[in-house]
Amino acid sequence: MTVAAEVAENYARFSTRWAVELETSKNGLANSGRLMASYARMAAYNGLKESVLTPGCSDECSAFFLEAQNDLLTSHVLASLGVWRASLQSLRSFLENSLSGLYFKDHPIELRLWQAGQTKLAFSELSSYFKKHPDVGSLQQSVTGVPIIVAEYATLSKAVHGSAVNMRMTGDGSVRISSSETARLNAWATRQTNVVRGVVLLTLCLNKNQFTGTRLLPVRSVLGAVLTNTGRTQTRTALSISIPAYS
């Protein structure tokens, strides 16, 4: 057998093996309530994107929010297949695109400079900007979402840079594309909950005037899937936005 023929034969076995591995992990995770809860949080972000973030926003700016939504969806699908580290990397991209969209929505000139390759914003600059934002800086940090975003970005960066042993896929000494370990699912669900919650809280702070009176009731109804009871109380007290319990 030639080397090329041997490689082709190994490729055929590998292709079959990884497909079986993913299907096995998918079946092992399929009935988890964690994934259903994740979908509800994605629906909450989609509601904000459609009703608050993209209206009145340029196509170039809206593209950041759409990519953020795609990052969130990608993370969910990868988690559904048990591909944990890559699913965490997608969550970090969700944070980057969400904050970039929020920043450029208020800074169209900087967006033009970014498109021309003449400026680049680090995540630290974005988070520092929102900490000082006049609609954010005067509030208790716990209601702004910024501390959650900063903490989660630091944690998720370990998955991106490969610096956290507990985020590796190969801890048993062999190559693994996926797994259906409950502990891995729980850890991912915690990260996903936090990043969506942080972005939702920040979005509410920046757009509280759009939620006056009974406006955007359909969006509010699904935001309860993201916020805790304490969070809903805080948004009502600090922002005058009532979010019903999710049911």
pLDDT tens, the chain, 247 aa long: 799 888 999 999 989 998 899 999 999 998 889 999 999 999 999 999 999 999 989 999 999 999 999 999 999 999 999 999 999 999 999 999 999 999 999 999 999 999 999 988 899 999 999 999 999 989 999 999 999 999 999 999 987 777 566 667 666 767 778 888 999 999 999 999 999 999 999 999 999 999 998 899 999 999 999 999 999 999 999 999 999 999 8
At a CB cut-off of 8 Å and minimum separation 6, what does 121 contact? 100, 103, 110, 114
Structure tokens at 69: 């939504």
Distance of CA 183 to the CA centre of its chain: 19
CA distance 47 to 218: 8
Domain positions in the chain: 3-239
At a CB cut-off of 8 Å and minimum separation 6, what does 177 contact? 18, 21, 22, 83, 169
**AA identity, residue 92:** R
Judge residue 175's burial from the number of C-beta atoms within 10 Å of its C-beta, 0-12 exposed, 13-18 middle, 19 or more buried: exposed
Q: Looking at residue 166, what is its pLDDT?
A: 67
Are 30 and 212 in contact by the 8 Å Cβ rule? The answer is no
Name the helix (H) or strand (E) containing 51.
none
Are 239 and 223 in contact by the 8 Å Cβ rule? The answer is no
